[in-house]
Every structure is written in structure tokens, then in C-alpha cells.
Structure 1
Amino acid sequence: MDLATALRDQTAALAAAAVDPDAPVPTCPEWRVRDLVAHVGQAHRRAAGIVRTGQFTQEPPAEPGPPAEWARWLADGAEDLIAAENPRDVWTFFGPRPAAFWLRRMVADTTVHHADAVLAAGGVPEVAADLAAEAIAECLDLLSDPAVTTVRPNLAELRGTGQTLHLKPTTTTGWLITRTPDGVTFDRADGEADVTATAPTADLLWLLYRRLPVDDPRVTVTGDRALLDHWLALTVF
């Protein structure tokens, strides 16, 4: 997948969906749409600064300007990140990583926040299956990183004794997640699991990020529902 193209597309789609600055964002109750736009634009600019310098940079509060300027302001931030380069490892939550970490992270983040903007406008978010699959894999990579509990200590509760969760797309191979004593592991595979959530790939992404409730008719859950609920309650971003 071309992550630069994905970031451009999702940023533009978010800008197009952000039609009412004062509308509440139901999936981020503390935000209005203007806060959502500011957050995304600031995140892109912060990520670009990290890539360029290799270090965490604390950006001042973002000011996207009037709504008529949001599309250009958001696009400028995305292009700033796309253009940023660093041949060395850079700062991340988990220690030094290749600079591509931040482009991938911002693609997933922007995709989810595009959904937030659509929901705030009363629409139904959509995303291509390949991009949804990439964002799911990126999320699971974060949650299975050995250093994740240094960033979010509560995620130590994801450790287990072999319990398994299966995210099963309706048309392709899914993700089989195992909760081990040392942390979370996952494979791109299908198989028997303690609990399975079956849905189109995009809806599995929204479920994983709690943009879609477990009880939504687009999702079919079989097995130990409490295990899935526990996972979702712990992994709130």
C-alpha cells in the first residue's frame, strides 16, 4: 500500500466531512468538529517534526483557522509529514524506530478520525478493505509491542494464559490474536478461537477502535463475548 497516497486521501476526506465546526463528535465526546480538525492537523505536524529531528517535539496548540481554510491547512500538514525524511531511527513511544513508523501511524489515526468526522455529520463511514486491513494490522502491531506497557501500564491486563480472539473478515483471511503470559501475539490467519467477531473488514476496524458497537447487526460474535468486551474496554485510544 502507498501510505503517502492513503494519508492524502484520508486527510482530504476528513476535511470534506468536517462541515459543521460546532457539531459534537459522538465517538470523542469531549470534542467538537473544530477540535477534531485541530487534533489531526497538529498530529501530522508533530509527526513531521519528529521525523525531521529524530526527537519528540512539543508543538504549540494548533490553530486551523476558519472552516473555509481547513482543507488546505490539513493538506499542508499531511504533505509536511510525507516530505519529511530521516535515514536514522527516530523517537517513538516504544523507543527508536525507522521514520516510516510515523507515516504509518498517522495513516491509521487519520483513517479513524475521518470516520469520526463522518459520524459527526450523521453519515456512515466507509473505507477500502485494504486500507482497513492495514490499519487493523498497525493497531495490533502497537498492542503486541513488548514496550507497550511502558506507555499504557493498564495494557498489562491483556496478558493471559492462551486465550484467543479471532477478527474474521467476511471475504479474506483474518487475524488470530493470542493473550500469552508475556503479552499479546497475533498472526494473519484463521482458526478456532475462544471468541470470533465476523464482519466486513472495514467494520472490524471500526469495532477495534470502538467506532462500531459490538451489538451492531453488521458484527456477528460467537464464543466468549466477555473476552471480546474485556479487550475492547482495555484498548480505548
Structure 2
Amino acid sequence: MDFVAQVETQASLMRSAAVKAGPDAPVPSCPEWTVLDLVRHQAEVHTWAAEAVVTAPEAGRPAWPKAPRDWDEALAWWENGTSLLLDRLRSTPPDRPAWTFQGPSHAGFWARRQAHETSIHRLDAELATGHELPSLVFDPEFAADGIDEMLTIMMPRQLVLGRVIEVTGQVLVHAADAGRTWEVWLAPGEPLVVTGVLDSAVDADVNLAGTADAVYRALWGRPGHAIVTGDESLLAGLPRP
């Protein structure tokens, strides 16, 4: 999967939607943010990730940058940060050691992470325009990878940061059109246990199912058409960012 191409595509679509919505538009999926806040956040993330790509693991976490507060300056700053990120991702071997906050410490981590970071915030920008999202935005392979990244990278990261699981049970996550299913075990104070399974008919405490696109959005708390059956409190107890 070409994650670098996804970063470029999703950033372009996000920028178009952000400009259409305007800097003062509220972002329904991020209630405390305006579009300016969303753009500044993505600009900072892209600039920071570009630095992380070329930072050795032993050097530690790169300093967090601060985007300008003026709308036009923030857009330009974001464009520069995105261009730098894309250039570094394309010129750096994916297996070169690099600082990461979770998972494998190599540069390729950042292509995947930023592809999904940007795709989710692209949805936020689209929602800020006031229009409903289509039922399918992302292709099944990409969305299924985003589900996997959320379950195996982003949620465990929340536990490293101090979040604690407070519920007990089994969650089955099924992306029908991608043919992928994950079994997630939750126990108070314990690590998240995630395994891929072949049987989507496992008798779990709660099932989250639908197209990969719908499940991807649901795990990130964005509007979609995923179907939930069973104990919804277990989904609420997942350690989401």
C-alpha cells in the first residue's frame, strides 16, 4: 500500500474542504475546534512527523512545533510542512531507524501513521463544510489497515500514556468488504489483547461490523454506518485517542 501517496491525496482533499468551510467554521466532530484549529493541528503534526522521520530512536521525541495563528500563514506553513514530510518519506528508506512513539522504530511507521492521521482529519474538514459524508469514502484495504492501526498502535499508546481499561469483555470488529476480523479482549488494568481471526461469527460480548470504511470511522468516533450489537459499554471502554 502506498501510504505516502495517501498522505498527499488526503492532505490535498483536507485543504480543499478547509478552505471551503473557512477558518471560523466549527468542526462538529471536534467540538472545541474551529477549522483554523484543525488546520493548525494538522500543520503541526505534519511538521513534527517530518522531523521524526529523520530523528534517530536514541535521540528522543522531537520538539513540538507551533503553527502561526493567522489563517493564510497557517495554510502556507502547513503546505511547507506537508511538502517536507512527503519529501523525507520518499527519500528515506522505510526500514531506516527513526524515533516513533509506538511500534517499530523505523521511518516507514510515519508514512502509515500520517496517512491515517490525515484521512481522519480530512473527514473533520469535510464535516465542517456542513455537508454529509458519503457512505463510502475510503477503499476497503486502506480503511481496514486504519482499523488495524487503531487497534494495535493507537489504542495501546493510550495505555502507555496512562489510560486504564475499566471494563471486562470481548469485542469483535468485522470489516466485511475487506474480509478482516479482529478479536479484542478487555480487562481492568490489563493491556489490550488484539488478535486477527478468520471467523466473523465468534460469539463476542459486542460486535462492531460494517464496511471497512464504516468501522474505521466508528473507531475514530466519526459519523458512519457501522452496526453495533451487544454490550455497547465495551466499545465506550476502548482506550481511544
Same fold (TM over 0.5): yes
Partner residue of 1:43? Answer: 45
Equivalent position to 2:219, from 208, 213, 224 = 208
Instruction: Tell me if the contact between 2:27 and 2:34 (Cα under 8 Å) persists in the aligned partners.
Output: yes
Partner residue of 2:181? Answer: 174
Partner residue of 1:222? Answer: 229
Over 6 Å off, 4+ runs: none
The TM-score normalised by the length of structure 1 is 0.82
Do the aligned partners of residues 84 and 49 (structure 1) sit closer, same or farther apart at CA in structure 2, a change above 3 Å counting?
farther
Instruction: Tell me if the contact between 2:206 and 2:228 (Cα under 8 Å) persists in the aligned partners.
Output: yes
- Give unpaired runs (5+ residues) of structure 2: none
Partner residue of 2:83? Answer: 76
Equivalent position to 1:195, from 206, 230, 233 = 206
How much does 1:121 deviate?
Answer: 0.8
- Give unpaired runs (5+ residues) of structure 1: none
The TM-score normalised by the length of structure 2 is 0.81
Give the aligned CA root-mean-square deviation in angstroms.
2.7
Do the aligned partners of residues 25 and 148 (structure 1) sit closer, same or farther apart at CA in structure 2, a change above 3 Å counting?
closer
Which deviates the most, 18-27 or 96-105?
A: 96-105
SS at match of 1:93: coil
SS at match of 2:153: helix
Amino acid at match of 1:58: A
User: Which deviations, in whole Å up to 9, do the C-alpha atoms of 1:14-62 show, x marking residues without a partner?
Assistant: 1111121211111112221122112112211111111212242214311
SS at match of 1:188: strand
Quick one: distance in 1 between partners of 2:211 and 2:193? Answer: 22
Quick one: distance in 2 between partners of 1:77 and 1:124? Answer: 32
Partner residue of 2:16? Answer: 16
Amino acid at match of 2:23: P
| Count, aligned residues | 225
Instruction: Tell me if the contact between 1:52 and 1:84 (Cα under 8 Å) persists in the aligned partners.
Output: no
Quick one: distance in 2 between partners of 1:31 and 1:24? Answer: 6
